[in-house]
Structure 1
Amino acid sequence: MPIYLIRHGQSEFNAAHTDGAPDPLIFDAPLTDLGRQQARAARDHAATLGIQSVICSPLTRAIQTAKIIFDGIAPIEISAGPVEHLWHSCDVGRSPAHLASDFPELRFDHLPDVWWHNGPKNQNGVAEEPEHLFHTRIAQFRDTLHHAQTRPLAIVGHCNTFRSLAGFDMKNCEIRRYL
């Protein structure tokens, strides 16, 4: 049974950050109006795939995307496994208590208070995740997917995560079969 990858919709960070521009310092960036429209458009396609379960990154833009696409279709499980490579402010998460306040219908109590990379911080206060740690984390997440019982399965996550996991880039709200 297949596993599908779904990149989140356009975030406020995506809209504000262009190549070479400084980090706009939008921490845990939510979706833009366009990002919400992209997720609504992806919902129709996702509904045809028979997805039974969703694994979602705990970053707000991914959660918002998953809820728009899968509310009423499939249960959403939050996992730090597919979280983005921490390189910019948008990839710094929020505590489970804050996330639970915004998304009370989802469970976050299994996450530690700081579930994103936490190391030395750059000049913007962002703890950049070393590349080798990121790839190791994604390889560990990949290993857990082979044991996923409920399929078809969707993973709602991020560009760099899917590039490391599957070897390809994805556009906002693109849906691609992984396995």
Structure 2
Amino acid sequence: MFFMRHGQSVFNVVHDRTGRDPQTPDAELSALGMTQARKAAMQLEGRRITAIISSPFTRALQTASFVAEVLRLPIEIDPLVSERGVHSCDIGSPASVLRARFPALAFSALGGGQWWPPQNESARTLQERVHAFMTKMSFEDRAATTLVVSHWYFINAATGACPDNAEVVEVRV
């Protein structure tokens, strides 16, 4: 299974420079983040990836969209692979807003209410989400060839890695 962290977001730009939360819910990719996502997508070409699962946060969907275009694969959305609720950027957009931003994607997995984790989500709750996702994937034949576009905390909890923006981590399943 492949895990890819989203490209640099506008939240990352400010937070990395100042250490402060810029209060940007559901942050989009920065210009650099778009470049990172495009470059990573090109590097994934030729790898045996048969499915893309993405977090519903905008920065992850934007990153996944670059990959989907290069690999010519659809994007499945799964809120289990969302970021840990810690900062303002971890407050998601309602499914209706996401449908307008990404009309080609299906958001039925989000239901009608709040799909993103609560703020101050505990490490235990995050680990439970990771476990639920990995258990679900263990029953799928495609698990080894799936790319999961997600976030630092989720990828770290799933793999132990500390991925940079747009970095891909491969794990055996």
Fold match by TM threshold 0.5? yes
1:165 aligns with 2:119: no
1:24 aligns with 2:22: yes
Q: Deviations over 1:79-131 (max 9, x none)?
A: 0011011100001111111101100000002213200123xxxxxxxx22122
**Unaligned 5+ residue runs, structure 2?**
none
Deviation of 1:54 (Å): 0.4
Of 48, 67, 70, the residue aligned with 1:69 is 67
Deviation of 1:149 (Å): 3.1
Look up the SS of the partner of 1:173 in the other structure. Answer: coil
Q: Report matched runs for 1:10-49 at 5 Å.
A: 10-18=8-16, 21-49=19-47
- Contact 1:52–1:75 (Cα < 8 Å) also in 2: no
The structure with the greater share of residues assigned to helix is 2
1:85 aligns with 2:77: no
Look up the SS of the partner of 1:144 in the other structure. Answer: helix
Structure 1 CA distance, aligned partners of 2:82 and 2:100? 20
Structure 2 CA distance, aligned partners of 1:148 and 1:94? 29
- Contact 2:14–2:20 (Cα < 8 Å) also in 1: no
How many residues are matched? 169
Of 137, 140, 146, the residue aligned with 1:148 is 140
Q: Deviations over 1:35-58 (max 9, x none)?
A: 000011111111111211101000
Q: Which amino acid is 1:45 matched to?
A: Q
- Contact 1:47–1:73 (Cα < 8 Å) also in 2: no
Cα RMSD, aligned residues only: 1.5
Structure 2 partner of 1:100: 99
Structure 2 partner of 1:131: 123
Structure 1 CA distance, aligned partners of 2:31 and 2:18? 24
- Contact 2:79–2:109 (Cα < 8 Å) also in 1: no
Structure 1 CA distance, aligned partners of 2:97 and 2:114? 12
Change (3 A) 1:84 1:53: same
Structure 2 partner of 1:178: 171
- Contact 2:161–2:169 (Cα < 8 Å) also in 1: no
Look up the SS of the partner of 1:106 in the other structure. Answer: coil
The 4+ residue runs of structure 1 with deviation greater than 4 A are: none
Look up the SS of the partner of 2:97 in the other structure. Answer: helix
Q: TM-score, normalised by structure 2?
A: 0.92
Q: Deviations over 1:114-152 (max 9, x none)?
A: 00123xxxxxxxx22122111111111111121223351
Look up the SS of the partner of 2:139 in the other structure. Answer: coil
Deviation of 1:20 (Å): 7.2
